[in-house]
Structure 1
């Protein structure tokens, strides 16, 4: 028998008994583990001294209805089962003492607490919490996260976990440790980030593809008055007009349409009475998508719908050309060109505008479709994703950047591995990781360290083609940084592991380590 403070472990070759003593407040993983690892060569105890609440494990040697004989370290314990359960001779099972009057011991089988789970059952028992597989998993996770497992901490965590019975305890425990507010929306986003399903640009693409047909179909089915539909159309155009602080470049019509499409679009506007000078500008293709939409709103807004030729509005707003124009304009609002990142607060302004635009889209979708399931879900997903990023940014710096580069869109994540307090105080090194997903090059990680005027960069790539392309152009990076007064070094490394948002980023500050996932061979 080994005693340490108030905690007693009785260990035998056939079973383990943990005495019913109190765990001190703030008992941690290391406290319990050190007790559990102590070796006991011989044990001599009286099984009749088992107390109510004790949890033990033993070998079943006899079963007669609700009476069972259990062997513990060569001694036989005769006990009464309070619950009927099919037990077989030879099973090694864990039990909890329900009553012991000195003459008879009543016990209750415990669910799956073998294989070293006895200590977790003991923690739950001391906290007065039911010993279930879910609660055992909760204690295990709390210990692995190096969290306190005193009674108060256990009770608070049980309360949190019980609110979300369909969620894994590990998710709620990790969020609690990271001080992320625990809501159903945040839980879903946290798991999305853990499972690499967090990319906001993918949901944005789905929304664009689903939203445009909703508007055009409303014109086709004739179930709404033209005045109502035109008002909604104007509201969408207005909310996607450039906002102050987020002015971006919009493409010219000749960059969006083919020559045949420009001709068709011009004729549709002619049918609505647009002025000849406007039609000439549209026909030339040298007018931007933003200006084109603005002209449509201004021209049509001056006239009553009954003044338009029959079917002219329907032909324009349900036509292929307007759908392409609106889609292009929405994407220009939502996806950022790399050169635009030089503008102060560009990303912040983009997300503020995105939130307003999603609100308006939700309003119109609910009006036209009464909540089309897939589209409504995706619109909500974008908002909750933004809300989650905002929560993370209360203590760390992270943002997704939907990028538009040449003829492709790309997903990117920017992780800053210096917490906000240290960043504001300008202490030590600034460490950051830029993750890019591109069609041609695949995933690319760029790890950056800045200290004073020295910039160290490491490029992590997956294939030789990307490696060769980057290495041939590193002089552009180094020369431009040198021109700004920085000393720059560039390393190329092999990328073998995907960035883990929780383990590699959120826990990074708590671990106090550099990016441990990068243990790769240097290729150059």
Structure 2
């Protein structure tokens, strides 16, 4: 008896992300004394496959008939669903004496003849990775002819240890297969893609990096780096005030204009430099004007606009006393923007301001400046700008010890954190403003790049450097996605805390809809208190349909109590709205960005239409 035809040769590398369990198999051969049969089985090597029928099962022990005279008795390490009479293909994981470690191939694909036929037609072996590859390609509606399988197989082999589904997913979205894109694709799949999380980690790691460098004897480098951080956000704050004034003076209300076109333009004087370098914009057009205003209105309602009270950094309510009114009058008289105004007392309490008073006195602040710090009336933006000016203009007069004490203090880092959140998160009112969203991503990319460069001159092997690198890769990945899909992340600064949003408009750039067709969008939000919610919006002419998927009845009641605000706003613009609210299923995690885009990209796939010529 010849068993050679039952086994396939080894091919390629085996991925570590298999979805199936393993089988530990002590071998029992019914044809006793058949030395040749025992030797063939003993000589099996990892990567080979064996096919057989399940003839008996008793608990975790199964008997597999691989030939009419050969039965292997195997013990299941995990709860694998195998039924008597089922034909299963196993892959040999390792061989140790008379013990075989076998693994059922991906999702029992021996039951799907098209997967096996495709590999046979391409003259490729039946390995776990390749079967998963073909299955994933079929799910994505991709071609599985010989050339397509060979090309994809080369990519799988070139990226050892990467799940085949990740490689196929990237190619189905027309994205290059690079280590950075592989990491970002899997981050998006596993809900680790949120920019708002990167911002939070940055704020946590920034003071730690400073303290670590000082402790390691790199005090000069730590001070220089923190000076660059301060300069970056203080100067950007001044540019932002100027741009906000200009944007408020010029409103673009032309219907049909795109809202996120050419996003990623660096702010201020960096724009010409970036264009000269030929940088691509971070984001292209993602939705029209009406869709943008709709999204903004929904986020504002969820944020509890009109009911939410202003809060301090510690979560306590903020009153509007005489100090507040006097401070606002001072800012207004100086031409400042009250919308972006945050007085110091809203960020630091009296004890913290006293500590800051002493630290600023040490670097040479004037009595007038210190007075505004003590009573909390100085705007936080103005304070950071004044510190930056003091350390730049009077650098030689300020002792290094005073600067280290200031930069290493908790109160200073609270101020810096407040400003970073102002610049690196979007307010609900920003979402519907074209220029604001464009400049936001341009600023985020520019600033993270400059911080990476500054940090690289000192230390590249710290968590802060990795955080900045991941953030830049995330933005670049979004840029690539936006070449074909209308998608954008919305890192939001809400009244109740920071929140993450995904906005996806169902329009493939390669197949743009006709002007008279409807526009559909999905808004996904992860809220601190309201939890995960998905809002589907469909607009056709002046008709708007919205469907809210919410976590529980309390959240439904909250949205129901505020939905009239959205209805009134849309009515003012001539729209008619229909609303539906349902509870999400417990097992649903919310919007999967990669799955949503892949679903749109799929072409019709009827398995019966696949045909293969195994003689080719």
TM exceeds 0.5?
yes
Equivalent in the alignment of 1:329: 419
2:65 corresponds to which residue?
A: 92
| Structure 2, unpaired ranges of 5+ | 7-28, 56-62, 68-89, 93-103, 245-338, 605-616
Output the CA distance in 1 between the equivalents of 2:513 and 2:439: 21
Match of 1:145 among 140, 155, 171: 140
Residue 506 of structure 1 is aligned with which of 594, 598, 605? 598
Q: Tell me the SS of whatever aligns to 1:402.
A: strand
Match of 1:285 in 2: 376
Q: 2 CA distance for matches of 1:344 and 1:118?
A: 51
Q: Deviations over 1:269-328 (max 9, x none)?
A: 2222222222223233222222111111112212243x3357322221211211111111
Residues 337-370 of structure 1: per-residue CA shift (max 9 Å, x gap) = 1112233232232122111222222234334444
Query: Does the C-alpha gap of structure 1 residues 170 and 342 become closer, same or farther in structure 2, counting only changes over 3 Å?
Result: closer
Which digits, 9 at most, give the CA deviation of each residue in 1:240-266, with x for residues without a partner? 223458658252211111012122212
1:377 to 466, 470, 475: 466
1:463-489 Cα shifts (integer Å, max 9, x gaps)? 121111111111111011111121122
Give me the CA root mean square deviation: 3.3
Instruction: Give SS of 1:414's match.
Output: strand
Q: Give the one of 162, 179, 186 matched to 1:184.
A: 179
Q: Deviations over 1:441-497 (max 9, x none)?
A: 111222111111111112221112111111111111101111112112222222223
| Aligned 8 A contact 2:537 2:544 in 1 | yes
Distance 1:468 1:302, change over 3 A: same
Take 2:512 and 2:232, find their aligned partners in 1: how far apart are those partners? 35
Q: Are 2:269 and 1:296 aligned? A: no
2:435 aligned with 1:476, yes or no?
no
Partner of 2:602, secondary structure, is helix
SS of the equivalent of 1:428 reads: coil
Note if contact 1:246-1:346 (Cα within 8 Å) is conserved in structure 2: no
Match of 1:345, SS?
A: helix
Give the Å deviation of 1:232. 2.8
Take 1:269 and 1:194, find their aligned partners in 2: how far apart are those partners? 47
Where does 1:117-132 land on structure 2 (aligned, <5 Å)?
120-132=115-127
| Counterpart in the other structure of 1:366 | 456
- Trace 1:412-423 onto structure 2 (pairs within 5 A): 412-420=501-509
Counterparts in 2 of 1:220 and 1:268: CA distance versus 1, 3 Å: farther
1:233 CA drift (Å): 2.8
For normalisation by structure 1, the TM-score amounts to 0.73
1:500/1:221 Cα in 2 relative to 1: closer, same or farther (>3 Å)?
A: closer
Relative contact order higher in (CA < 8 Å, ≥ 6 apart): 2
Which protein shows a greater Rg?
1
Question: CA 1:391–1:132 in 2, change beyond 3 Å: closer, same or farther?
Answer: same
Distance in 1, matches of 2:545 and 2:478, equals 27
Q: 2:477 aligns with which of 372, 377, 388?
A: 388
- In the alignment, is residue 343 of structure 1 matched against residue 302 of structure 2? no
Q: Partners in 1 of 2:344 and 2:212 — Cα distance?
A: 24
Could you tell me how far 1:218 is from its partner in structure 2?
4.0
Q: Which residue of 1 aligns with 2:232?
A: 239
* Aligned residues of 1:402 and 1:412 also touching (Cα < 8 A): yes
2:304 aligned with 1:212: no
SS of 1:401's partner is: strand
Which shifted more, 423-432 or 330-339? 423-432
Residue matched to 1:410: 499
Match of 1:467 in 2: 556
Deviation at 1:510, TM superposition (A): 3.3
5+ long unaligned stretches in structure 1? 1-15, 18-58, 69-79, 95-108, 513-524
TM-fit CA distance, 1:506? 3.1
* Number of aligned residue pairs: 428
Deviations along 1:99-119, whole A, 9 cap, x unmatched? xxxxxxxxxx98667843666
Report the secondary structure of 2:378's partner residue: coil
C-alpha distance in 2, partners of 1:221/1:324? 24
TM-score using structure 2 length: 0.63
Return the alpha-carbon distance in structure 2 between the equivalents of residues 459 and 118 of structure 1: 41
Give the whole-Å Cα distance in 1 for the aligned partners of 2:210 and 2:411.
Answer: 14
Structure 2 SS opposite 1:342: coil
Counterpart for residue 105 of structure 1? none
CA distance in 1, matches of 2:511, 2:569: 27
Q: Check whether the contact 1:214–1:368 (CA below 8 A) recurs between aligned residues.
A: no
Deviations 1:156-180 (A, max 9, x none): 1111111111111122112212212
**Residue 217 and residue 262 in structure 1: after superposition, are their counterparts in 2 closer, same or farther (change >3 A)?**
farther
Query: How far did residue 85 of structure 1 move?
Result: 4.1
Task: Tell whether 2:488 aligns with 1:399.
Answer: yes
Deviations 1:379-409 (A, max 9, x none): 2221111122111111111111111111411
Alignment partner of 1:352 out of 438, 442, 458: 442
Q: Indicate the residue corresponding to 1:430 in structure 2.
A: 519
Q: Which SS does the other structure have where 2:219 is aligned?
A: coil
SS in 2 for 1:152: helix
Distance 2:555 2:112 in 1: 48
Secondary structure of residue in 2 paired with 1:273 = coil
Q: Does the Cα contact within 8 Å between 1:268 and 1:312 map onto a contact in 2? A: yes
Deviation of 1:154 after TM superposition, in Å, equals 1.3
Write the deviation string for residues 126-182 of structure 1: whole angstroms up to 9, x where unpaired.
323333222222223323333322211111111111111111112211221221221
Alignment check: 8 A CA contact 1:220 1:314 kept: no
